[in-house]
Amino acid sequence: MGPKPTNRRSSRESGQAAVESALVLPISVFLILGSLQLFMMHQARVMAEYAAFRATRAGSVNHGNCEAMNHAALAALLPTFRSVRDPAELGEQFKAVRDNRFGDGYMLSTSEDIANEDVVWIYRERPLRSAVPSDEDREFDARFNEPMQLQVTMIYWYPMRIPFADWVIYRMAAASMGVETYLENNPLMPTADANWQPGGSGETLASDVFAKMSANVGANKYLFPIQASHSMRMMTPAKRQYFNQQNCF
């Protein structure tokens, strides 16, 4: 009697299953990890909007003081990059970032140390330094004057912490923003190369944000720029001493 064909068929089916698993597994893993990372980014986006409001309000009632604006934004963002189980720890957590750096020991999933990286950049679109009086603004509350507006755009450099999903999303975002092309092996389809080309929207990024994101790609530091804006009437007169530089970073 000849050999039974079942063993060969079973071997072929096993090999086919292995190939199918190799093709499907990366996508399945990305769907799980990517969903988690996107959910966390959505939370960070909501908190960034709140942080922009808090920063604007702090500047409005403190004559445009950058330190007060930065501290207000950082305090609002604490839950998005530090795990705090005990409210008593909040003071220590804030102390670690009060200089607008992530603090010693903060690592990304890539084991990249980002202790010296900025947390937020605050652009003050209005008022411009040239519009701030050099002495006391005696007409600040004059009845027929147009109220001075503090208009803020904040960039939150959100640390992406979910392995695999972080660099896939970051690379795709970098390509869509016009930061960098990615043509190497596609992590979602190991048998093919990716073709992630700039989408032409990079011109909308401020040049310094564009440059930092490009540097982050090269250094494998997945700090995603989340932008939020807010404007509010100045509740206290702007002081020239707080506008020696236009932006707060």
- DSSP per-residue codes, 62-114: TTT-HHHHHHHHHHHHHHHHS--SSGGGHHHHHHHHTTSB--TT-B-TT--B-
State residue 66's pLDDT score.
Answer: 96
- DSSP per-residue codes, 155-189: EEEEEP-STTHHHHHHHHHHHHTTS--B-SB-TTS
Q: Are the C-beta atoms of 74 and 98 separated by less than 8 Å?
A: yes
Neighbour order of strands in the sheet with 149-159: 120-126, 149-159, 223-233
What are the two backbone dihedrals, phi and then psi, of residue 246, each rounded to the nearest 5 degrees? -70, -40
Q: Residue 216 carries which side chain, given as an amino acid letter?
A: N
At 128, list the tokens. 């411009």
pLDDT in tens, 212-235: 988 888 888 899 999 999 999 999
Extents of the domains making up the chain = 12-243
What are the two backbone dihedrals, phi and then psi, of residue 116, each rounded to the nearest 5 degrees? -100, 10
pLDDT in tens, 16-31: 666 666 667 778 888 8
Q: Which residues of the chain have pLDDT under 50?
A: 201-204
